[in-house]
Amino acid sequence: MSFAMDLLLLATSWAHVLLAPYTKVEESFNLHATHDVLMYGVGRDNLYKFDHNTFPGAVPRTFIGSILLAWLTSPVVYAASQWGLLSTKLDLQIAVRLVLATLNATGLMLIRRAVCRRFGRPTGLMYVLLTCSQFHLPFWMGRTLPNMFALFPVNLAFYALYDRAPHSQYPTRRSADVAFALLTFTAVVFRSEVVLLLAPLAIQALLLRHISFMRLIRVGFLSGMLSIALTVTIDSYLWNQWPLWPEVYGIYYNVYQGKSSDWGTSPVYAYFLSHLPKLLLGSLPLAVIGAVSDNRVRALMYSPLVFIALISCLGHKEWRFIIYVVPLFNIAAARGAWWMVTRRKGGIFGRIMFLAATGILALNCVITIVSTSASMANYPGGSALTTFHHQYVNRRAVEVHISNLAAQTGASLFLQNHSPPHIPSMTAPVTNDWVYNKTENLSPRDLTMLTPLTHLIAESSVEFTRTGRWKLVDSVQGFSRWKWNLPRGGIAKVLEVPLHQWLSVLEMETSDQLYILARAE
């Protein structure tokens, strides 16, 4: 049973990677850093080839997660290459993402074990079902956002804090030390907002006497100093700036200078009323029931709620900034769901509770299927470059310009299959002389005058084809919106629709978003 639950968590994370293999711009720094470490290593002679020298981004990010991910992926890639499972650099990108998904799935597996030990195996099963039926956490845990690198050590910290016997009030001293050291490391190296989660957890641990004040200070100081030394040493070297602490630079840029507001601001209540319900789906009402029915769950929820309240004070808000607390809410929801299920023999009220719990799980699955379907069609850049490769697989001396939209929606370095570099364990394609041009802010006239360009992946076609110098080869569609196809004639007509036709009631609309053009001969 335990193995099956862990396998379900892993399979769900892998399924999202395989269904949507391409990436978006917010993932690009860590994805391309991982690409560069895999391809070039970290020797000084090759650092000038790294992508961050050309596209540094608004603020420097740490390379530590990307280096670790590349090192973990290397033996996997070697073994897969020997078995003939890797043939393109896109396969390599998928392997990288599967390794990251496996790491984060392992963190969730450990939490599942802690839940089974403290609350019982049925609650552990509910935790797994709720987690797997959600969309955001399983879909993004295999994506190279900085938050997904931070998620694994945060989940390890949760496991260390909460893995104890049902009636045990205290984690072991060693577990508390490991938990706060991991949270400190994560805040220093990966995501500074984790300090807002660390603070209420530390205060709660002090009030409950899980750890002494002096021991907490000692653990925090030692882990903090070691983490600072690690990130400053590695990132100063790779960014060629000394001294550089990326997360402190990010705080200065985004918080002190207020630059994060340039990306938009949200009301103070946005996390509680918008982002959290979107992340949790049906787990939100179930978590409330769990907190009401079990005092251990109430104690579990204080710190994540304080964390969300604290981070709500910042103007710029994104769901990924609070992704770390989703496993804790799912524990509470699992407890609430199991409480409802156990009422099934308690008359009509109990049956209603049972149906409500199963209905919430079913609704989660429906929302996740719809969201995943839309996301699969939401990476036109990756689809366009893959289509382009199929069109010209045997052509030599190609130079293609990749537009901004294409670069932001999937056309990553891993998709540049017909140009170097290639890792030694993979065979390079026969046509290995292509040039992928990502120069920004070029007008149609500029692109036409760049005589080496043979092809374009552009966001429009008319302004190119009307000149007579370009011809349209293909177009690539992307997700536009969902449309209801309800029959007209009121409720009576709706009820007459056969069950098998309900699958077409909700229809995805797509539209042309990118165009492949070739220079006219």
Q: What is the pLDDT of residue 290?
A: 94
Q: Please write the tens of the pLDDT for every residue from 406-415.
A: 999 999 999 9
Provide the token pair at 65: 């997660």
For residues 299-311, average pLDDT: 95
User: Residue 495 and residue 511: Cα distance in Å, rounded?
Assistant: 31
By three-state DSSP, how is residue 283 classified? helix
| Greatest CA separation for the chain | 78
Asked if pLDDT for residue 491 goes beyond 60, the answer is no
User: Residue 148 and residue 104: Cα distance in Å, rounded?
Assistant: 8
- Residue that has been written with the tokens 């969300």 in this structure: 308
Asked if pLDDT for residue 500 goes beyond 60, the answer is no
Q: Which residue has the higher pLDDT, 489 or 47?
A: 47
With a pLDDT cut of 70, the percent of the chain lying above it is 95
Query: Which amino acid makes up residue 356?
Result: A
For residues 370-376, average pLDDT: 94
Q: What is the pLDDT of residue 498?
A: 63
Name the DSSP letter for residue 484: E
The answer to whether 107 and 330 are in contact (CB under 8 A) is no
Asked if pLDDT for residue 52 goes beyond 70, the answer is yes
Asked if pLDDT for residue 501 goes beyond 70, the answer is no
| Mean pLDDT lowest among 7-11, 339-343, 485-489 | 485-489
User: Residue 21 and residue 50: Cα distance in Å, rounded?
Assistant: 23
Q: What is the pLDDT of residue 431?
A: 80
Q: What is the pLDDT of residue 430?
A: 76
Q: Which residue has the higher pLDDT, 1 or 123?
A: 123
Tell me whether strands 506-519 and 470-484 are parallel, antiparallel or unpaired.
antiparallel
- Residue that has been written with the tokens 């170097």 in this structure: 420
Please report which confidence band the pLDDT of residue 329 belongs to, taking 50, 70 and 90 as the band edges.
very high
The closest of 150, 120, 93, 130 to 9, measured between CA atoms, is 130
Please report which confidence band the pLDDT of residue 88 belongs to, taking 50, 70 and 90 as the band edges.
confident
Q: What is the pLDDT of residue 95?
A: 96
For residues 270-297, average pLDDT: 94
For residues 162-191, average pLDDT: 89
Q: What is the pLDDT of residue 503?
A: 61
The answer to whether 289 and 329 are in contact (CB under 8 A) is no
Q: What is the pLDDT of residue 76?
A: 92
By three-state DSSP, how is residue 92 classified? helix
Phi-psi region of 57 (alpha: psi -120 to 50; beta: other; left: phi over 0): left
Q: Please write the tens of the pLDDT for every residue from 71-87.
A: 999 999 988 888 888 88
Across 373-390, b (16+ Cβ under 10 Å) vs e yields bbbbbbbbbbbbbbbbbe
Q: What is the pLDDT of residue 182?
A: 97
With a pLDDT cut of 90, the percent of the chain lying above it is 64
For residues 382-391, average pLDDT: 93
| This prediction's pTM | 0.93
User: Residue 357 and residue 369: Cα distance in Å, rounded?
Assistant: 19
Report residue 225: phi and psi, to 5°.
-65, -45
Q: CA 22 → CA 61, 367, 382, 409, 459, distances in Å?
A: 21, 21, 6, 8, 18
Q: What is the pLDDT of residue 374?
A: 93
Q: CA 508 → CA 371, 377, 388, 478, 488, distances in Å?
A: 11, 9, 24, 10, 19
What is the residue-wise DSSP string for 207-268?
A: HTTSS-HHHHHHHHHHHHHHHHHHHHHHHHHHHT-SS--HHHHHHIIIIIS-GGGGG----T
Those residues whose C-beta lies under 8 Å from the C-beta of residue 394, and which sit 6 or more positions away, are: 430, 431
Asked if pLDDT for residue 194 goes beyond 90, the answer is yes
- Residue that has been written with the tokens 């490391």 in this structure: 185
Strand order in the sheet with 506-519: 435-437, 399-402, 455-458, 506-519, 470-484
For residues 470-486, average pLDDT: 87
Please report which confidence band the pLDDT of residue 496 belongs to, taking 50, 70 and 90 as the band edges.
low
| Mean pLDDT lowest among 208-222, 274-288, 458-472 | 458-472
